[in-house]
A and B are shown apart, each in its own frame.
Chain A
Amino acid sequence: MGSMGTEGIGFVVAAYAATWIVVLGYLWRLRGALKRARDLYEQAGGTAND
């Protein structure tokens, strides 16, 4: 296989972009899941200090 030099830079950028989209997307999803769960818990009569 010959040297690829900087030809593959687009693939590298795509790989890092995909990684960060997934990481940040899941962090956002987690934030929503935690908020929904806490809201439900408070509706059920629990408090954050339970």
Chain B
Amino acid sequence: MTAPNGISQVVAPKPGRWPLFGWFTIVFLVVSQVVAVVISPAERDMGDLQKIMYVHFPIALNMFVCYLVVLIGSVRYLLKNDERADLLAASAAEVGAMFTGLTLVLGMLWAKPTWGVWWAWDPRLTSTLVLFLLSAGYLALRSFIDDPDRRATWSAAVGILGALNVPIVYMSVRWWRTLHQVQSTPSSVDPLYVIGIRMNLLAVLFLVIYFIRRRYEAALTERAAEHRLEATALGSVGNG
């Protein structure tokens, strides 16, 4: 895509200090998990199973951040026709799909020993599955459409639809009768568990930011290369 002045909007970004941030994030995630697992005592009813909370909950909550970025990127693309916004939304959708899939798997690992089943067609689980299928559909759609403008427009529509599902996922435990517990608050959880949860929430947030930024960097670099190749080919035709 080319801006009205004929100059490509897409420029290959530099990695800057992002690789360093990545290393920091991985170390912080390891430390957060170790601290959370070591300092938290076995829960009265669930025993050691409670320790799944330190991965399931932070990943589930931070997947919403991905869909917020998808929403912002998609709306911006539709309003401004900015290709970078489309690439940002696509990067966030990929990370969001991965985190939603992982949330479902971790939820199943929690459900089997506590509920006795791997899966139940409970509103929270079902709406999360719908979110996962929408994000997978978004990624499939992008691979099917070759024309960048059409791909970005259709992706933005699906991206907005997916993001609109997020409040339904979040509120499902309050709107309907569910097996899944309602949201806890720091006041309803023992402080020994709160520290671990907060550290892991922050670590996974950093991970989401890092993943989206680096995926966006790869997508921008690829598009910048494609623009250069197109410009070179057009130049050759013009000169030939």
Contacts and interface: CB of A to CB of B under 8 A. Distances in A.
Interface in B208-240: 211, 214-215, 217-219, 221-222, 224-226, 228-229, 232
Q: How large is the interface on B (under 10, 10 to 19, 20 to 34, 35 or more residues)?
A: 35 or more
A8 B48 contact: yes
Contacts of A33: 215, 218
B193 to A, nearest CB: 15
B17 interface: no
A7 B45 CA distance: 12
Contacts, number: 114
Interface in B172-229: 207, 211, 214-215, 217-219, 221-222, 224-226, 228-229
A26 B12 CA distance: 22
Interface of A: 1-9, 11-12, 14-16, 18-19, 22-23, 26-27, 30, 33-34, 36-38, 40-41, 43-46, 48, 50
Interface of B: 11-12, 14-15, 22, 26, 29, 33, 42, 44-49, 51-52, 55-56, 59, 95, 98, 101-102, 105-106, 109-110, 112-114, 207, 211, 214-215, 217-219, 221-222, 224-226, 228-229, 232
